[in-house]
Each structure stands twice: as structure tokens, then as C-alpha cells.
Structure 1
Amino acid sequence: MYKNILVPIASDHDPSSPKAIAAARLLADGDARITVLTVMEAVPEYVAQQLPKGQLAHNAIEIAKGLRAELEGQDDIVVEVVEGHSGRTILEWAEEHGVDCIVMASHRPGLSDYFLGSTAARVVRHATCAVHVMR
């Protein structure tokens, strides 16, 4: 069905992540590419100045290592870690890499989600490709 599937996973590794990956596999064409993407929230410049040199790059490497360990034996999945605002960065990454389906987990909305909007809600509203939301 889909050739290029993106599975955004929060850096705290949501317990629904394995379900989202399983759904991506069900939606994937035989030779599809599945990418797991984690977005590290951007650190304000005034905070980044106080961090040791290379700390943010080190954090990205450690997050990627953790994801690869979690996905051990699933060599068909590509792991990417980028920095930015989660909703906007997921949408931009999907657009830039020709993603045709985004599969992501979502929590039950709370009161703040109705005012501010969750990441999944933002992706659903603004994505130019299909979006499959897991609950």
C-alpha cells in the first residue's frame, strides 16, 4: 500500500510505539521504507550556551542508540533523530523525504489539548500525506 512510512516516536518511548511500528508494517508495501523519527525539542540558545560543547549531538546519538537497541533485530527500520518543534518538524521531515504515510501513537486528549493541540492533532491537520493515528 505505502512505499515510504514515517513512525514518529517520542524520546520517552511511548508504550504504544511497538503497536505503531506493527501498524506501519501492515500498511507497508513489500519493498517499503519505514523510518522511526524522534524529534529532540530545540534547546533555547541561552541554555545551549551553558552546555558542554557537543552535548546536543551526543544526546542525539544516545537517543538513536536507545531506539536501535529497542528495535534490535528489525534491520528494515531506519532510525533518525532530529532537533526542532515536534509537530512542525515531523511535517517538514515527511514533506522533504517524500513520506506517503505517517503512523503515530496518540494519547487521549486532555483539556490542554483542546486549547493548545497535541502533536498528533497538528500532524493530522497539516500533513499532505495519509496519517494513521494509533490509540
Structure 2
Amino acid sequence: MSYSTILVPVVPDHVDEGRKAIETARQLLDPGGRITVIAVHEDPPYYMPTDAYWAVPAVLERQETLGTELQDALGSPDVEVLVRRGQPTRVILDLAQEGGYGCIVMPSSQPGWRHTFLGSTASGVVRHAHCSVLVLREAIAG
């Protein structure tokens, strides 16, 4: 099976996982298709005090520098890089739906006690996506 549009959510601190996800997406991509990388800059929780670090200008500046960093690390002629603000699962699902993506290829973090098999974002995307979702997992040493 192949897809004309693939969305690849990445965590900015895990660029190597993002590269692996892009390579997997390329294997699933139709000739002439497009890959979009999305990184979500999560807003601070409502209960966090507003100080200079969390002020809107600082958040917007970080969003801009994050986009440049990811474009340098992951971008290529066949890959578009987007940075959005919000709750990661919701932003990924909304973009996938609105953009008409046929598949989401995403790495998943190591699970914690609450997420036995998938990270929380991957779990939410798998449960609610309108399209196919391929979750890439690293082998867990046991």
C-alpha cells in the first residue's frame, strides 16, 4: 500500500527518531507524493505562572527557531516542516483531517506505567485518526 500524503509528527528533541520516521514514510509514498513533518510546541499548562519564559513573545520566538532547526535537520525538497502550538494529539489529528493525509507515520516514546504499549500522543492518534497510522517502536531491551 502507498499514500500520496503522509504526516510525520516528531518530537524536536528526538530528531534521529524523526529521520527514521521520514525514511519509513518515503518507502510508503506514491511517486510525486508529499511528506509533511509536524512538531507541536505545547503551550504551558494553565496553572503555570506567567513569567518572562512563558510570555507569548518568548513562545513565538521559540516556535520560529524550532521551525528553522527542524528544517535544517529534517527538511529536504520532498519534506515540508511545520511547527504548531497546542496540545500535540489534537494538533496532529486536526492537521491530518484538514490536510486530507492518507497516513500518519510516527515514532512512539518508551511507555511509562500508564501507557503499557504506546506513548500517550501515539495512543491518542491511533485511537482517533481518520486515516492509517503506522507507529514505529524501538526494540525495548528486557
TM-score by length of 2: 0.83
Q: Which runs of 5+ in 2 are unaligned?
A: 138-142
Residues 1:94 and 2:96 aligned together = yes
State the Cα distance separating 1:48 from its structure 2 match.
7.9
Q: Kindly indicate whether the alpha-carbon contact (under 8 Å) linking 2:18 and 2:74 is maintained by their aligned counterparts in 1.
A: no
Q: SS at 1:8's partner residue?
A: strand
Q: Which one of 121, 124, 128 corresponds to residue 122 of structure 1?
A: 124
Return the alpha-carbon distance in structure 1 between the equivalents of residues 50 and 111 of structure 2: 35
Letter paired with 1:7: V
RMSD: 2.1
Residues 1:55 and 2:58 aligned together = yes
Q: SS at 1:16's partner residue?
A: helix
Q: Which runs of 5+ in 1 are unaligned?
A: none
Return the alpha-carbon distance in structure 1 between the equivalents of residues 130 and 56 of structure 2: 37
State the Cα distance separating 1:112 from its structure 2 match.
2.3
Task: Please give the per-residue CA displacement for 1:10-45, whole angstroms capped at 9, x wherever unaligned.
Answer: 121253211100010000000111000000111246
Return the alpha-carbon distance in structure 1 between the equivalents of residues 36 and 81 of structure 2: 6
Alignment-derived partner of residue 11 in structure 1: 12
Letter paired with 1:31: G
Return the alpha-carbon distance in structure 2 between the equivalents of residues 78 and 53 of structure 1: 25
Return the alpha-carbon distance in structure 2 between the equivalents of residues 120 and 14 of structure 1: 17
Q: Kindly indicate whether the alpha-carbon contact (under 8 Å) linking 2:15 and 2:74 is maintained by their aligned counterparts in 1.
A: no
Q: SS at 1:119's partner residue?
A: helix
Residues 1:70 and 2:80 aligned together = no
Pick 1 or 2: higher relative contact order, CA cutoff 8 A, min separation 6.
1
Q: Report the count of equivalent residues.
A: 133
